[in-house]
Structure 1
Amino acid sequence: MIEFRYIAATIMVLLSLGDITLNGMVISRMFREREGFNKICVNKSVANVHIATAFLIWAAPCAYLNDYYLPQQFNVFFGQIVGWAPYLMSGPFTQISLAVNRAVAISFPYSFNKQHRVPWTNILLGGLWCIAILMSLPAMIDGCSYIFFVDSVSWSPTDTVCSRTLSEYVTNLVLVMAIISFSINVSSIVKIVRSAIGLSAVMDQNVSESRKRKRRKMFIQCVIQDCTHTTDCMLNTYVYTFYAAQWFQFICGAVSALSVTTLDGLLMSIFHQKSTTPSQSRDPPSKSHTISQFRIRAVSRVSTTIMTTTTL
């Protein structure tokens, strides 16, 4: 009978390759785009690729060998990638950034499209990366690490007070930021609905229906991404302690993390394709309206801004 570690290692390799492929597609498609929303998506995908690479070049080979092929310091280093800095950027930091980006685009559509001399999005993302890296430094202390265990074929904190405390801290942070992000997204949905009602008199019916579909997709995407990262953190911190079976530890520690980042890449790829193509072929507002041409153009700009900046 094939040992479980071989099966687990193979699953990690396949999921990691899928993760890198999907998120790599997002990076290649959005890298040169100027919109802040797409820049945030690129940073999210970069973090996802880092996580998948750590699984591919460390966790999977160690599982195949049933041992560590490099000193313990490398186990600690890769643990910072999977459990700390890139994880924070992949999950709570970019999720709340995306939510804020949508909220600003909806609340201030005219100023949002203006060219700014200061690259605020780049500064924000650079600051978040610095914060994520600084937050990961305490885990480099001996006895505070988040590492890969060969026997359970999973990542988890070491059995020390320091490590458990840091892990619980990250979990609470993810939960709080997920609630904030979800609240912002709900507020954005309400504003979009109100705006749609106000613009219905000067919009073509087909365009209005298209906007409704995009709002539903955007809301589903937001909920999925917020919930999956929160669930993954809960599995890695609490649920894995419920059952000591190797396959259960593996699902909570490895399959969960890779599934979330792979799903991220898939969602961003799908929604990016569906948000750009229709926007190029939108039907213009009906000419039968008696409202002035200036008002029609102004309303169209507001509608276009909401559609293109709030849908992934």
Structure 2
Amino acid sequence: MVIILGYLLHNAPITVIDNFTGPTFFNMLVNQMVSYGIYLLGPVTQFMISINRLLVMVFVKQAMVQNNQKITVVILVMFWLAAIAITSMGVIDSCNVIYNPELLNWWSGGCDDDIGEAAMGFVILCAILSNLCNLIVLVKLVMSVSKKHMHSETIRRRQAKSRKLFIQSCIQDWIFAIDSVNSTYVDLLNDGILFRFMLDIFSNLMTPVLDGFVMLFFQHSAENKKSVVLCVKKKETTQNTTSQAARIY
């Protein structure tokens, strides 16, 4: 949401008037925010969610008796502060990365190439580790089918949920990874303004949008399935109650 607002309130007006008359510092700050600081929160948050699922599977008893909401809030606040710090530290006078409306893109002269490659590597690393954590959770659930002390129906539901979470996580993680590769390497294959705009600015802008659509799709699917299960259970309960009442009379 912050990234979308950055483009909407900063890049869009500059493009419309075809000029930037504000302070260079503000232009650089928006670039650091949408390209690095706030942007990196997406893959990092997904990685933390995957670690949380894995830890819950490993430490089942502790997860059942402890309330980890405070820890989660503290960790999220820490990551937000880290994102703000990265954004602030990236604004340096020796590398003015500003938005140029004539190019429809950020321009720096190449001084931020190392930062871009480092950010891309970090995003891909988060995607790999996140997928690995979710894969371990899925394998652990598959292996738990053989345990007799657990109800098979419960296991099947958990497996189905873990498969969906694994697919959702893969899609969300690699959306960010593909965008990072686009803006770091693929956009250099052609000097065309429209080509570079689509693989840099537009790709960066659409990443949080697609991420939100993926979350909405999987969440909506889960809610619909939950509603169907509740309706079936309610119907079965009503039928059982009616049968018992008929026997009494």
- Runs (4+) of structure 1 moved beyond 6 Å? none
Q: 2:216 maps to what in 1?
A: 269
Which range moved further: 176-185 or 237-246? 176-185
- Does structure 1 residue 89 correspond to structure 2 residue 41? yes
Q: 1:70 maps to what in 2?
A: 22
Matched residues in 1 for 2:69 and 2:45: separation? 20
Q: 1:187 maps to what in 2?
A: 136
Q: 1:174 maps to what in 2?
A: 123
Matched residues in 1 for 2:101 and 2:29: separation? 16
Tell me how far 1:197 sits from its aligned partner. Answer: 4.4
CA offsets, 1:120-176, max 9 Å, x none?
A: 1011111112222222233210133443221221246x1143x22222221222222
CA offsets, 1:204-227, max 9 Å, x none?
A: 4xx665544433322211111111
Structure 1 residues 227 and 198, CA gap change in structure 2 (3 angstroms): same
Q: 1:256 maps to what in 2?
A: 203
Matched residues in 1 for 2:49 and 2:151: separation? 29
Structure 1, unmatched stretches of 5+, are 1-48, 285-312
- Residue 23 of structure 2 aligns with an amino acid whose one-letter code is P
Matched residues in 2 for 1:199 and 1:137: separation? 55
Matched residues in 2 for 1:132 and 1:114: separation? 32
Which of the numbers 80, 99, 102 marks the counterpart of 1:151? 102
Structure 2 SS opposite 1:194: helix
**Bigger radius of gyration:** 2
RCO (CA 8 Å, sep 6+): is it higher in 1 or 2? 1
Matched residues in 2 for 1:76 and 1:276: separation? 42
Tell me how far 1:195 sits from its aligned partner. Answer: 2.4
Q: 1:132 maps to what in 2?
A: 83
Q: 1:202 maps to what in 2?
A: 151
Which of the numbers 49, 52, 61 marks the counterpart of 2:13? 61
Structure 2 SS opposite 1:116: coil
- Residue 121 of structure 2 aligns with an amino acid whose one-letter code is N
Tell me how far 1:182 sits from its aligned partner. Answer: 1.9
Structure 2 SS opposite 1:87: coil
Structure 1 residues 101 and 117, CA gap change in structure 2 (3 angstroms): closer
Q: 1:108 maps to what in 2?
A: 59
Paired residues of 1:79 and 1:145 also in contact (CA < 8 A):
no
Q: 1:229 maps to what in 2?
A: 176
Matched residues in 1 for 2:16 and 2:148: separation? 60
- Residue 264 of structure 1 aligns with an amino acid whose one-letter code is D
Structure 1 SS opposite 2:67: coil
Paired residues of 2:32 and 2:90 also in contact (CA < 8 A):
yes
TM-score for the superposition, normalised by structure 1:
0.66
Structure 2 SS opposite 1:148: strand
Q: 1:217 maps to what in 2?
A: 164
TM-score for the superposition, normalised by structure 2:
0.81
Matched residues in 1 for 2:91 and 2:148: separation? 54
Paired residues of 2:144 and 2:155 also in contact (CA < 8 A):
no
Paired residues of 2:137 and 2:162 also in contact (CA < 8 A):
no
Seq. identity, %: 26
Structure 1 residues 108 and 210, CA gap change in structure 2 (3 angstroms): same
Structure 1 residues 273 and 252, CA gap change in structure 2 (3 angstroms): same
Which range moved further: 79-88 or 116-125? 116-125
Paired residues of 2:120 and 2:181 also in contact (CA < 8 A):
yes
CA offsets, 1:214-271, max 9 Å, x none?
A: 3332221111111110111111111111111011111111221122111111122222
Which of the numbers 79, 84, 90 marks the counterpart of 2:31? 79
Give me the CA root mean square deviation: 2.6
Aligned length: 231
Paired residues of 2:50 and 2:134 also in contact (CA < 8 A):
yes
Structure 2, unmatched stretches of 5+, are 234-249
Matched residues in 2 for 1:199 and 1:143: separation? 65
